[in-house]
């Protein structure tokens, strides 16, 4: 095949791979929603882009990218084994409140003062998500339901802890006192908002990508996700994998909670973890990547830009920022449809090739 031909072939494959039509379809629908709501897309889209990347906004966007990518791992790891973890909010909130408690109550030397709260946060998140594992494997209760049911009281518990036992005295605000200096995540050079959380989460993402494609565990997780019974028949301990992936996902979510609390403004502020909607932005991003883990960092980046840009759009063009949530929901629905259509077409295509 000529170079031009293979380039065209590559181009066709890129265009037809699910994320591209899904993003395209979502943009068309978003434009329609804008028009239906009386918003001028010619004003809204530039405002969206400026809100995400222009004058100093880029730093906020990168700062929001870190927790979203972390939450993407929390959702994607169990998803690869066929388990839905929708309880990210609760796992993250408990992780955050545990990190704050450890940092406030234990005077630790520098270095450990950052590492220990983060480890405790990951452990707490793992326990919250891990509670769903026996419910899934022993009682057959779907993780999608139990993770969500556990999440709500977990968020309530974190809220209670930050309002009462851990509350900053005398302010009446639902927040902990500021954490000791030694527990602050070091900022990356020259930035006020981006901390070493960024390289840490990037490293974890790389580790997950490696484990997913190159290790036995990753292979078994994928096999279980594709066909649980077949994997079980092949000797894979599917129940153990469900437990590993759910607790692992919870550990990522708990860690994200810890990273947020140990980052600016260096305290647990109620709502600061769950209100930005990292959990479901991450869900949309992972589903948009449609079974290609390598695409996850890119889809997370895209949706973070959209999310951050939504606030700029609200300021500049008066378009409610919730539009970005509309887009995320539409993306998920469209991805689900495209994934099936592609699957069916691949099957009928195979039949034609044989005929």
Partner 1 sequence: MSILEFSFLAAVLTATAPVVPAALGGLICQAAGVFNIALEGQLLWGAFTAVVCGHLTGSAWAGVLGAVLATVLYAGLLSLASVTFRADPIVVAVGTNLLALGLTAFLMRRIWGSGGTYSSPDLAGLPTLAELGLDVPVLGPQSPLVPLAAALVVAAAWWLARTRSGLRVRGVGGHREAAEALGLRAGAYRHGVTLAAGALCGLGGAQLALGNVTLFSEGMSAGRGWIAVVAVMLGGARPYRVLLACLLFGVAEAVGFRLQGAGLPQQAADAAPYVITLLALVLVAAAARRRPKETTT
Residues that bind partner 1 (CB under 8 A): 33, 37-38, 84, 86, 135, 138-141, 144-146, 148-150, 152-153, 156-157, 159-160, 163-164, 280, 283-284, 287, 320, 322-333, 335-337, 339-341, 344
Q: Which is nearer to partner 1, 180 or 321 (CB)?
A: 321
Q: Give me the long-range contacts of 8-17 (CB less than 8 A, separation at least 24).
A: 16/342, 17/290
Shortest reach from residue 194's CB to partner 1, in Å = 27
The phi, psi pair for 282, rounded to 5°, reads -65, -40
119: number of Cβ within 10 Å: 18
Q: Which is nearer to partner 1, 54 or 341 (CB)?
A: 341
> Among residues 291, 246, 258, 316, which one has the least CA distance to residue 87?
246
Shortest reach from residue 284's CB to partner 1, in Å = 7
Shortest reach from residue 267's CB to partner 1, in Å = 19
Residues 6 or more apart whose CB falls under 8 angstroms from that of 108 comprise 116, 182, 183
Q: Which is nearer to partner 1, 148 or 260 (CB)?
A: 148
Shortest reach from residue 144's CB to partner 1, in Å = 7
Task: Return the sign of the alpha-carbon dihedral for residues 294, 118, 263, 154.
Answer: positive
How many angstroms separate the CA atoms of 142 and 77, rounded? 16
Shortest reach from residue 345's CB to partner 1, in Å = 12
Peptide bond before 265: cis, by omega within 30 degrees of 0? yes
Shortest reach from residue 165's CB to partner 1, in Å = 11
Q: Which is nearer to partner 1, 28 or 206 (CB)?
A: 28
Question: Are the C-beta atoms of 308 and 51 separated by less than 8 Å?
Answer: yes
Q: Which is nearer to partner 1, 114 or 327 (CB)?
A: 327
213: number of Cβ within 10 Å: 12
Question: Are the C-beta atoms of 302 and 324 separated by less than 8 Å?
Answer: no
Place of tokens 């008066």: 318
Q: Which is nearer to partner 1, 10 or 152 (CB)?
A: 152
175's torsion region: left (phi>0), alpha (psi -120 to 50) or beta? beta
Q: Which is nearer to partner 1, 142 or 199 (CB)?
A: 142
Q: What letter would DSSP give residue 180?
A: P
Q: Which is nearer to partner 1, 144 or 202 (CB)?
A: 144
Shortest reach from residue 259's CB to partner 1, in Å = 24
> Among residues 240, 275, 300, which one has the least CA distance to residue 62?
300
Shortest reach from residue 139's CB to partner 1, in Å = 4
């Amino acid at each position: 095949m000529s170079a031009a031909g293979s380039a065209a072939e590559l181009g066709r494959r890129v265009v037809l791979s699910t994320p591209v039509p899904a993003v395209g379809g979502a943009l068309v629908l978003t434009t329609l929603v804008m028009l239906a709501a009386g918003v001028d897309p010619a004003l809204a889209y530039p405002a969206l882009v400026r809100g995400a990347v222009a004058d100093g906004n880029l730093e906020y966007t990168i700062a929001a990218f870190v927790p979203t990518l972390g939450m993407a791992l929390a959702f994607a790891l169990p998803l690869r084994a066929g388990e839905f973890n929708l309880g990210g909010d609760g796992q993250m909130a408990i992780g955050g409140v545990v990190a704050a408690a450890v940092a406030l109550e234990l005077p630790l030397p520098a270095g450990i003062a950052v590492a220990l709260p983060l480890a405790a946060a990951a452990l707490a998140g793992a326990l919250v998500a891990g509670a769903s594992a026996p419910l899934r494997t022993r009682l057959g209760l779907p993780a999608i339901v139990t993770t969500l049911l556990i999440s709500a009281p977990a968020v309530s518990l974190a809220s209670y802890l930050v309002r009462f036992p851990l509350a900053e005295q005398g302010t009446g605000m639902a927040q902990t006192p500021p954490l000791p200096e030694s527990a602050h995540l070091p900022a990356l050079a020259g930035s006020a908002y981006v901390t070493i959380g960024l390289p840490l989460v990037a490293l974890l993402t790389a580790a997950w990508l490696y484990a997913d494609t190159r290790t036995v565990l990753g292979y078994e997780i994928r096999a279980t996700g594709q066909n649980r019974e077949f994997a079980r028949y092949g000797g894979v301990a599917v129940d153990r994998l469900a437990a590993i992936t759910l607790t692992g996902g919870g550990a990522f979510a708990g860690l994200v909670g810890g990273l947020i609390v140990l980052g600016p403004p260096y305290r647990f502020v109620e709502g600061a973890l769950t209100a930005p909607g990292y959990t479901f932005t991450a869900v949309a991003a992972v589903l948009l990547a449609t079974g290609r883990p390598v695409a996850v960092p890119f889809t997370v980046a895209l949706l973070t830009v959209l999310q951050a840009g939504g606030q700029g759009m609200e300021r500049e063009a008066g378009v409610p920022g919730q539009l970005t949530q509309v887009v995320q929901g539409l993306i998920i629905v469209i991805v689900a449809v495209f994934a099936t259509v592609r699957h069916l077409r691949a099957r009928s295509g195979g039949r034609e090739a044989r005929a």
